[in-house]
Amino acid sequence: MPTSEKSPPPDHRIALGAYGERVAVRALTDAGLQVLDRNWRCRDGELDVVARDGDALVFCEVKTRTGTGFGHPVEAVTAAKRRRLRLLARVWLAAHDQHAPDLRFDVVGVHVPASGPARVVHLRNAF
C-alpha cells in the first residue's frame, strides 16, 4: 500500500470526518439548503445531515477522504450503506414532525488533499 494511502490513526479519522462534515454543511447551505439535523443517531445508525431543499427533504451522507487511491469519496457509499440510509430516513421521519412532498438522498464527497483547499462534490438524488 502506498504511504499516502495508509489508514490514518482513529483520532485523525474522527477529526477528518468532522472537518469533512463542516465543509459539506457549508457547501449545502451555500447551495441554499436549510440544515435541520446533523449527526442524528438512533440504535440503527447515524444520519450525517438532514436538510430541506425547497419542497424536498434531503438525507445526505458525507464521505471524506485524504486520497483517491481507493476511489473518490462518493464511491464509498455502498449498496449496504444505501439500504441503511433508507432505513434511517424512515426512523428519522417517524421521530420528527417534518413533511415534504419529495424525499431525496444526496451524497457529498469531500476530498482533502495534502495541500490546497478541500474539494467538494455534491451528488443530488445519488440513489
Mean pLDDT value of segment 44-49:
97
For residue range 53-92, list pLDDT tens digits in order. 999 999 999 999 998 888 889 999 999 999 999 999 999 9
pLDDT at 8: 59
User: Which architecture does CATH list for 3-123?
Assistant: 3-Layer(aba) Sandwich (3.40)
pLDDT of 18 over the 50 cut:
yes
CB-CB neighbours of 115 under 10 Å: 4
Radius of gyration of the chain (CA): 15
Beta carbons within 8 Å of 39's beta carbon, 6+ residues apart: 21, 46, 47, 48
Domain boundaries, the chain: 3-123
pTM beyond 0.85: the answer is: yes
